[in-house]
Amino acid sequence: MTQTLFTILFYIVLFVVLQRLVKNWVQRLSRLKQVSETRSKLVTQYITYLLFVSVACLMIVTLGVEYQQVSLFISSIFAVLGVALVAQWSILSNITAGILIFFVFPYRIGDKIKVVDKDEDISGMITEISLFHILIERDDKVIITYPNNLMLQKGVLKLKGKPAQALSLPDQKDHTQQQSD
């Protein structure tokens, strides 16, 4: 009984220490990358959930609960979650992309970018990066909500100064210059 209590206490302390280390690491990284506090808290929260599940599983196995019982319970949970998440795969992919963007996305709020998309002109200044989407404000003040998973799938160009304007072909006359002559 006493050994069981010490084991539980050890894993609780381990979880708290790891949680604080993760929180400090994410905060330091978010300051370095100039990420909003809200986004930093969301990433910390998701990593904490994953850490809690991992430590809880480790504690259950250490306490002597049979591996077969634990694996049956965990596989049942994953089966239910799998069915639920297949129906919402785009939400899961946006969350995953949001976490990846937090750690490896080379652009920050205030950067002017252009998403390489043949169907639509998606260029402007990044005004917000959230867990599900990125807000891009075009020059005409239209706000574009662009999903994180598509941002990772498409090419993104960083623009200098103002977002790129449509270029006229050399053999066409520029009508703005003709009117001023």
Q: Say how far apart CA 101 and CA 152 lie, in whole Å.
A: 8
Q: Say how far apart CA 129 and CA 141 lie, in whole Å.
A: 17
* In a domain? residue 164: no
Number of domains in the chain: 2
* In a domain? residue 97: no
Q: 8 and 83 share a domain? A: yes
- Whether the full predicted model's pTM is greater than 0.85, yes or no, is no
Q: Say how far apart CA 43 and CA 105 lie, in whole Å.
A: 14
| Domain encompassing residue 80 | 2-87
Location of structure tokens 């006229």: 168
Q: 10 and 54 share a domain? A: yes
Side chain identity at residue 170, one-letter code: P
Q: Say how far apart CA 147 and CA 130 lie, in whole Å.
A: 10
Q: 132 and 76 share a domain? A: no
* In a domain? residue 172: no
158 close to 107: Cβ distance less than 8 angstroms: yes
The secondary structure of 36-69 as a DSSP string is -HHHHHHHHHHHHHHHHHHHHHHHHHHTT--HHH
- Give pLDDT tens digits along the chain (181 positions): 788 888 889 999 999 999 999 999 988 988 888 877 888 888 888 889 889 988 888 888 788 877 777 778 878 888 887 777 676 677 778 888 888 887 877 888 888 999 888 778 788 999 988 888 899 999 899 999 998 888 888 888 888 865 444 433 344 444 444 444 4
